[in-house]
């Protein structure tokens, strides 16, 4: 179930190409008792499990193998992304307060391309609960409702059926395959591109 979107504001993309967006990560409610928040220094358990995952470190900057110094640097890196205006990294928190994953909204290329990018991951012990889908729903609602962004896109490897289902559940539509679009584990990989525009019919792109 999707949350109701707030009234959409004017687009933050000015005619001169500048983007006026907040420089803080808010706490966002999600459905079924989940919520999103900024990264905390004590999110070590989440990072430890993510670092041991065979795929998460390949598609993110999660340090592997896990070290305390690497975890601290990762959290600081997330804070810096918001301070300099390139993105909003959110931790997904389940109904009992456990941090289980990450959803990122990246706006660095918004002035040039007219699209912000989203990405997400959930640790193995929390998969199958809909955490990624609920987190993505909350970010989509915030991006279109509060921020007034013009469009969102995400990229998924063709084999990753779980991420594809998450994208489609959140109203994203596939626009085609992008050959060798992203380097994963040192090799260029083909990616499906999914897009979402504001509104109930917002899957055009």
Model pLDDT for residues 116-154, shown as the tens digit of each residue:
999 999 999 999 999 999 999 999 999 999 999 999 999
Q: Nearest Cα to 198, choosing from 32, 1, 6?
A: 6
Residue 185 pLDDT level (bands cut at 50, 70, 90)? confident
Local structure of 10: helix, strand or coil: coil
CATH placement of domain 28-150: 3.40.630.30
Mean residue pLDDT of the chain comes to 90
* 177 HSE (CA, 13 A, CB side): 7
Position 20 scores a pLDDT of 78
| Residue 56 CB neighbours (<10 A) | 20
Instruction: Please identify which residue in the block is written with the tokens 């921020």.
Output: 147
pLDDT greater at residue 133 or residue 15: 133
**Whole-angstrom Cα distance, residue 169 to residue 92?**
17
* Residues 112 and 130 sit within 8 Å (Cβ to Cβ): no
Q: Nearest Cα to 104, choosing from 69, 62, 67, 63?
A: 62
pLDDT at residue 13 tops 60: no
pLDDT at residue 4 tops 90: no
Bridge-based pairing state of the strands 152-156 and 116-122: parallel
DSSP code, position 32: G
Q: Nearest Cα to 142, choosing from 33, 2, 1, 5?
A: 5
> What sign has the CA pseudo-torsion 193, 197, 200, 203?
negative
| Residue 19 CB neighbours (<10 A) | 16
pLDDT at residue 189 tops 90: yes
């Amino acid at each position: 179930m999707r949350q109701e979107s707030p009234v959409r504001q004017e687009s933050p993309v000015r005619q001169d190409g500048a983007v006026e967006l907040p420089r803080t990560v808010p706490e966002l409610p999600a459905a079924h008792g989940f919520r999103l928040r900024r990264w905390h220094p004590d999110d070590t358990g989440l990072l430890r499990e993510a670092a041991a995952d065979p795929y998460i470190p390949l598609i993110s900057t999660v340090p592997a193998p896990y070290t305390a110094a690497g975890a601290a640097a990762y959290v600081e890196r997330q804070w810096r992304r918001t301070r300099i205006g390139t993105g909003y990294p959110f931790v997904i928190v389940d109904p009992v307060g456990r941090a289980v994953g990450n959803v990122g909204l990246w706006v660095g290329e918004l002035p040039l391309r007219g699209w912000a990018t989203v990405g997400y991951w959930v640790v193995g012990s929390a998969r199958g609960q809909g955490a990624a889908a609920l987190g993505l729903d909350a970010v989509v609602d915030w991006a279109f409702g509060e921020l007034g962004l013009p469009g969102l896109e995400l990229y998924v490897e063709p084999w990753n059926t779980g991420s594809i289902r998450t994208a489609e559940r959140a109203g994203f539509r596939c626009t085609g395959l992008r050959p060798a679009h992203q380097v994963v584990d040192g090799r260029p990989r083909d990616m499906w591109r999914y897009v979402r525009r504001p509104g109930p019919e917002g899957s055009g792109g």
